[in-house]
């Protein structure tokens, strides 16, 4: 899954794809490089981010979704608002990626069910402005698993087909770097819930801290984290994840192909 942030304030590339034409060009580039899905979002969810109005979110994403879908790109709409999701689906989006797991807008799951499209439900404990205040866990993996179960139940009760639900452990959302590393190391426990798992680790701050400059101590900037992201994509794939969400496609595409070949050899399926 390639990322197109139609925002002025996303942590990695805020402003680069804010104009619709630039965002469409980036989405087409990601698809041409091998992204199976292009995820279009108009709201930054970095820690501390403030929400745009619904009208502004619609203004940002609809022309991008429309033009990418018209060009044959499979588009996912990254939104927590049911009306934005519905309008994006009308403009050609094929999937909804809701980082609130259906909690931010009580109408979201009904929109998804009525449209019959796949949905990604992420582990979430509140909006970005205050989410890090909730980054307290007993065992983070057990807690994330336990808190995802009601999201699954609500989606199914709303009429969403089980085979159209994917899960996301929500790296960085109400989680510290240590929480992220623990979730990644035990990702198989999320996969064992029996649903496709999406992981969005690309360029995140915990990678920047790990790769900090040994002399100055400054975190590696976001655009210097792509090689590490690709390595992590391979490990995530080996853990059984369905999809990785990334800002740059080529390295992670190579990584998941390598992981698939490695997995085939390990299970005796290689030819």
Catalytic residues: 204, 245
Q: Which residues contact 211 (CB under 8 A, 6 or more apart)?
A: 219, 220, 224, 225, 228
Task: Using DSSP, state whether 28 is helix, strand or coil.
Answer: helix
Rounded distance between C-alpha atoms, residue 230 and residue 247, angstroms? 10
Rounded distance between C-alpha atoms, residue 161 and residue 113, angstroms? 7
CA distances from 144 to 83, 128, 189, 257, 260 (A): 27, 18, 10, 28, 27
H or E segment at 76?
Answer: strand 75-78
């Amino acid at each position: 899954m390639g990322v197109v942030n139609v925002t002025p304030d996303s942590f990695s590339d805020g402003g680069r794809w804010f104009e619709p034409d630039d965002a469409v060009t980036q989405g087409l580039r990601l698809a041409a490089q091998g992204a199976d899905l292009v995820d279009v979002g108009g709201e930054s969810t970095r820690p501390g981010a403030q929400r745009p109005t619904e009208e502004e979110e619609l203004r940002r994403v609809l022309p991008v979704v429309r033009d990418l879908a018209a060009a044959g790109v499979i588009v996912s709409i990254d939104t927590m608002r049911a009306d934005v999701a519905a309008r994006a689906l009308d403009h050609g989006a094929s999937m909804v990626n809701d980082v609130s797991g259906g909690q931010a807008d009580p109408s979201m799951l009904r929109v998804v069910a009525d449209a019959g499209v796949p949905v990604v439900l992420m582990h979430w404990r509140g909006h970005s402005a205050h989410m890090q205040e909730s980054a307290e866990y007993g065992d983070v993996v057990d807690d994330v698993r336990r808190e995802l179960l009601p999201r699954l139940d609500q989606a199914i009760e709303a009429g969403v087909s089980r085979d159209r639900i994917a899960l996301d452990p929500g790296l960085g959302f109400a989680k510290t770097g240590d929480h992220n590393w623990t979730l990644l190391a035990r990702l198989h426990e999320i996969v064992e819930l029996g649903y496709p798992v999406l992981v969005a680790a690309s360029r995140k701050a915990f990678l920047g801290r790990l790769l900090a400059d040994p002399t100055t101590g400054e975190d590696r900037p976001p655009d210097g984290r792509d090689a590490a992201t690709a390595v992590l994509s391979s490990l995530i794939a080996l853990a059984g994840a369905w999809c990785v969400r990334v800002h740059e496609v080529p390295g992670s595409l190579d990584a998941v192909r390598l992981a698939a070949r490695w997995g085939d050899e390990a299970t005796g399926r290689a030819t």
